[in-house]
Structure 1
Amino acid sequence: MNVSQQTISRIENGENVLPSDILIHLSKYFHVSTDYILKLSDVRMTQEYRLEMEQMLLRHFEFFLSYCRLNRTNQKVISFLAAQMEKAEEKKIKE
């Protein structure tokens, strides 16, 4: 974000105002509303992010149910394999 620690400290202490571009960047990065960052709302997730997560859950619901029916050992195996495949895909992207 190209913001110094000193600037962040001043914003936290109320000495500086949070610039709107940084506020928007933080909102997008953390998937929260700007009102949540400014403590104007208790709603953490943006409506857009909440809908995105709901759609993802619906697309993968059957897999999720199957995973939940596995014993703890098999769940760990699935999690390990998924992490390894994710690392392999990230490596391909970087190449």
Structure 2
Amino acid sequence: MCKNRVKELREARHLSQKSLSESTNISQQQISKIECGDSCLTRDNIIVLADFFEVSTDYLLGRSNCRKTIEQAIEMLNRFLKYDDFVQIYAMLGEKGQRLLRYIADMLIGLGIG
């Protein structure tokens, strides 16, 4: 399973095996072997690749479908908590109000106001 995840993550970033190798200091041959299933990930490679792709080690190993670690998820949640009031107001608007608000937001972004 891990071979599919490494290749999937690499291709999603439009990276060649060579560029991934250069970015992670894992040999291109090793990356190729991992992706082909000819070699398993070492502990060090798991950590390096998980950090590089910003995914959990369990995701990388195919043990979970959750890409983020708990710490990453908490950090993201904390970043968005400051918008909670706005999100609640947006949710109270009907579909028409939400469309209007999105239109206004798009206009402001188009004007460079942000």
**Counterpart of 2:43?**
20
**Amino acid in the other structure paired with 2:78:** Q
The higher-RCO structure (CA 8 Å, 6+ apart) is: 2
Q: Which runs of 5+ in 2 are unaligned?
A: 1-23, 88-97
Measured on the aligned residues, the alpha-carbon RMSD in Å equals 2.5
The alpha-carbon deviation at position 78 of structure 1 amounts to 4.0
Q: Which aligned segments of 4 or more residues in structure 1 are displaced greater than 3 angstroms?
A: 68-71
Using a 3 Å threshold, how does the CA distance of structure 1 residues 32 and 78 change in structure 2: closer, same or farther? farther
TM superposition score normalised by structure 2: 0.55
Q: Provide the C-alpha distance between the structure 2 equivalents of 1:42 and 1:78, rounded to a whole number of angstroms.
A: 38
TM superposition score normalised by structure 1: 0.64
Offset from partner CA, 1:69-88 (integer Å, 9 cap, x none):
43313124246xxxxxxxxx
Q: Which runs of 5+ in 1 are unaligned?
A: 80-95
The alpha-carbon deviation at position 30 of structure 1 amounts to 2.5
Count of residue pairs the alignment pairs up: 76
Q: Provide the C-alpha distance between the structure 2 equivalents of 1:72 and 1:48, rounded to a whole number of angstroms.
A: 32
The alpha-carbon deviation at position 29 of structure 1 amounts to 2.6
